[in-house]
A and B are shown apart, each in its own frame.
Chain A
Amino acid sequence: MKHARLVWKNLTRNKRRSILTVLSVGVALFLFAALQSVLTALDATSEVGSESRLITRNATGIVFPLPEAYTQRLRAVDGVEAVSWANWFGGTYIDSRNYFAQFAVDEETFFSMYPEIQIAPAQLDAFNGEKSGTIVGQGLMERFGWSLGQTIVLQGTIFPGDWEFVIRGVYEPDNPSFGDENMYFHYDYLFENSGESATPGWFIVRPSDPNLATEVAARIDGSFENSSDPTQTETEKAFQAGFVTMWGNVGFLVRAIGTAVFFAILLVAANTMMMSSRERINEVAVLKTLGFRDGLLSRLVVAESLAISVVGGVLGLAAASVMLANNEMLGSILPGYTVLPSTMLQGLAIAVVLGLISGFVPAREAARLSVVDALRRVA
């Protein structure tokens, strides 16, 4: 402990440099936490989606709808137990930054297909009894401070105009990765109001035996093969994974660039720490002359770079946990975005390793330094 002052004095001898080094380590670890959490979110998203539900969509692309008449034909396919359908609404609430997903659903079939959506029966009844009724997630209620019975207005993008909805129900998901920021409303309301002919965006199909899901999917696509709108059917999980794969490419890019930046910053920080200790090689020689052992001098050098990188790391990770964790915007773009404790621990470990590595080289130099040579160089 009595040597701590020596370490402290060395850290504060060039305050600006020390602060900049601490900050660059902080930025690097902030970046690390941010990127690592994107990957966490992508992992979580790929876990969403059921293996026992099938999604049937237009083979040309998800943005192309399917004829309503397909409902009956789907029900007739061998091995199909239930069919529902939904549309993407893509509306904006006040400001485009208030992003959340809205689905127009067939109220009679949809909710029984999604046991994940937990809602009080009385609220479901109230929703069914009102054309412009909507069911929203608890997360949205909290995010916008809504209350049951409130009328909210969304600006349509795919379906233009101002759209009024009355909140009649609030759901809670049975597991967090399903997300509690979705909005569901009546399919009929969408098409009566928009004046367009009703066309489901996609169908949700429940096979009678989940183990036969792939066979049923093949059968469905086979039966529409020669129709005007061929279909593509896959499990909901695979369907979600498709989105994630799309994200995954973005994730790869982000990760590649981020990793490069991360290492660049770390190298700069490590180099600065090494330089600042090299500048004092003469002082190391003096301390050796006074009888300081090689090992003690190395430990002092390592303590210094360890202090810089751990302080920087803690600052960067603390900033990440304040700014990134529970960040609504990030959370709604990438559901499941969160800074995990394990990410924090990894970050801390990186900071410690960085401190040890950047201290190691000058520490070894200090230990090996020949007093005679060092002092001769100066004189």
Chain B
Amino acid sequence: MALVELRDLTKRYQTEAEIISVLEDVDLNIEAGEYLSLMGPSGSGKSTLLNLMAGLDQPDSGTITIDGSEITSLGPNRLADWRANHIGFVFQFYNLLPVLTAFQNVELPLLLTNLSKDERRERVEVALNVVNLSDRMEHYPRQLSGGQEQRVGIARAIVSDPVMILADEPTGDLDAASAEEILTLLERLHSEFNKTVLMVTHDQHAAERAHRKMYLEKGVLHQ
């Protein structure tokens, strides 16, 4: 059984004038440890697909099974717990909490676990070490560059050791050099730490670095 199985996934939005069909009977299998990219024009439903896989949104029909759980049937609390354990989400605009230091931001997902303070510290340090920001632990987001903020965002996504990393245009707001660092980092998560990574990108070059490329257009997923 694949790590991720999407079956007949359909998502529509009802606006005043019309029904927008964002995803149309999408089927997708992702094996554990894969590194995938997802491209497509703006508004084609890439974020919607990621949100569905993260359990942040509900499909109109179809099923999403990840690591053996049929997440479309989970209640809100079970879903939140499931997300904490399975998904690391990386945002385009980093979404760090401005009042917390890099360390505290990365620690957030661990506050939901039973880990002791020392255990949490250890894990946060490991995660920040992976993204090569051990020397910026006590910095606040506003004291970091965009690339550094995104690395903190990635550290936060991996600190609870999720099975899958979902990254929605993680380099969309970065300069070329910083973007390169982030791409290298995501690649390492895949190759060194054996994470399953699904990355949405607009950048052809970035997409090429993934091992499997997908393309979303007019609600249809091309693999």
B-contacting residues of A (Cβ < 8 Å)? 2-3, 5-6, 9-10, 12-13, 282-283, 286-295, 371-372, 375-376, 378-379
**B77 pairs with A3, CB closer than 8 A:** no
In the bound complex, how far is the Cα of B50 from the Cα of A378, in angstroms?
A: 17
**B111 pairs with A3, CB closer than 8 A:** yes
Interface mask (B62-102 → A, CB under 8 Å = 1, otherwise 0): 00000000000000110011111101010111010111100
In the bound complex, how far is the Cα of B56 from the Cα of A111, in angstroms?
A: 84
**A289 pairs with B54, CB closer than 8 A:** yes
Asked if B57 is an interface residue, CB under 8 A from chain A, the answer is yes
**A372 pairs with B56, CB closer than 8 A:** yes
In the complex, 22 of the A-B residue pairs with CB atoms within 8 angstroms, ordered by the A residue number, are A2-B117, A5-B104, A6-B111, A12-B99, A13-B99, A283-B95, A286-B91, A286-B97, A288-B56, A288-B80, A289-B83, A289-B89, A290-B83, A290-B112, A291-B82, A292-B112, A293-B77, A372-B56, A375-B91, A375-B95, A376-B47, A378-B93
Asked if B51 is an interface residue, CB under 8 A from chain A, the answer is yes
Tell me the nearest residue of chain A to B85, going by C-beta. Answer: A291
Query: Distance (Å) between the CB of A78 and the closest chain B CB?
Result: 84
**B112 pairs with A291, CB closer than 8 A:** yes
Query: Distance (Å) between the CB of B200 and the closest chain A CB?
Result: 13
**B93 pairs with A290, CB closer than 8 A:** no
Asked if B109 is an interface residue, CB under 8 A from chain A, the answer is yes
Tell me the nearest residue of chain B to A294, going by C-beta. Answer: B76
In the bound complex, how far is the Cα of B156 from the Cα of A65, in angstroms?
A: 87
Asked if B183 is an interface residue, CB under 8 A from chain A, the answer is no
Tell me the nearest residue of chain B to A291, going by C-beta. Answer: B84
In the bound complex, how far is the Cα of B184 from the Cα of A38, in angstroms?
A: 72
**A9 pairs with B95, CB closer than 8 A:** no
In the bound complex, how far is the Cα of B77 from the Cα of A293, in angstroms?
A: 6
Contact A282 to B99, CB < 8 A, known contacts A290-B84, A291-B81, A291-B109: no
**A290 pairs with B99, CB closer than 8 A:** no
B93: A residues at CB distance < 8 A: 378-379
B77: A residues at CB distance < 8 A: 293-295
B82: A residues at CB distance < 8 A: 291
**A292 pairs with B80, CB closer than 8 A:** yes
In the bound complex, how far is the Cα of B108 from the Cα of A293, in angstroms?
A: 13
B81: A residues at CB distance < 8 A: 291, 293
Query: Distance (Å) between the CB of A128 and the closest chain B CB?
Result: 77
> Binding site of B, secondary structure by majority: helix, strand, loop or mixed?
helix
**B99 pairs with A294, CB closer than 8 A:** no
List 12 additional contacts besides A289-B83, A290-B108; criterion CB under 8 Å. A2-B117, A6-B100, A6-B111, A10-B99, A286-B95, A289-B54, A290-B112, A291-B84, A291-B87, A371-B57, A372-B48, A375-B95
In the bound complex, how far is the Cα of B185 from the Cα of A268, in angstroms?
A: 48
Query: Distance (Å) between the CB of B7 and the closest chain A CB?
Result: 21
Tell me the nearest residue of chain B to A293, going by C-beta. Answer: B80
Tell me the nearest residue of chain A to B96, going by C-beta. Answer: A286
B111: A residues at CB distance < 8 A: 2-3, 6
**B112 pairs with A379, CB closer than 8 A:** no
Within 8 A of A (CB), among B44-58: 47-48, 51, 54, 56-57
A10: B residues at CB distance < 8 A: 99
B54: A residues at CB distance < 8 A: 289
Contact A9 to B99, CB < 8 A, known contacts A289-B83, A291-B80, A372-B51: yes
**B99 pairs with A291, CB closer than 8 A:** no
Tell me the nearest residue of chain B to A297, going by C-beta. Answer: B80
Query: Distance (Å) between the CB of B162 and the closest chain A CB?
Result: 9
Tell me the nearest residue of chain A to B78, going by C-beta. Answer: A293
In the bound complex, how far is the Cα of B59 from the Cα of A327, in angstroms?
A: 68
In the bound complex, how far is the Cα of B207 from the Cα of A93, in angstroms?
A: 93
A293: B residues at CB distance < 8 A: 76-77, 80-81
Tell me the nearest residue of chain B to A290, going by C-beta. Answer: B109
In the bound complex, how far is the Cα of B99 from the Cα of A289, in angstroms?
A: 18
Within 8 A of A (CB), among B108-144: 108-109, 111-112, 117
In the bound complex, how far is the Cα of B111 from the Cα of A294, in angstroms?
A: 15
B156: A residues at CB distance < 8 A: 290
Interface centre among B97, B100, B104, by most chain A C-beta atoms within 10 angstroms, is B97
Nearest 9 A-B pairs (CB), nearest first?
A291-B84, A9-B99, A291-B83, A371-B56, A286-B95, A293-B80, A13-B99, A372-B57, A290-B109
Within 8 A of A (CB), among B148-203: 156, 160
In the bound complex, how far is the Cα of B18 from the Cα of A357, in angstroms?
A: 40
In the bound complex, how far is the Cα of B100 from the Cα of A3, in angstroms?
A: 12
B80: A residues at CB distance < 8 A: 288, 291-294
A6: B residues at CB distance < 8 A: 100, 111
Query: Distance (Å) between the CB of B21 and the closest chain A CB?
Result: 17
Tell me the nearest residue of chain B to A376, going by C-beta. Answer: B47
Tell me the nearest residue of chain B to A280, going by C-beta. Answer: B97
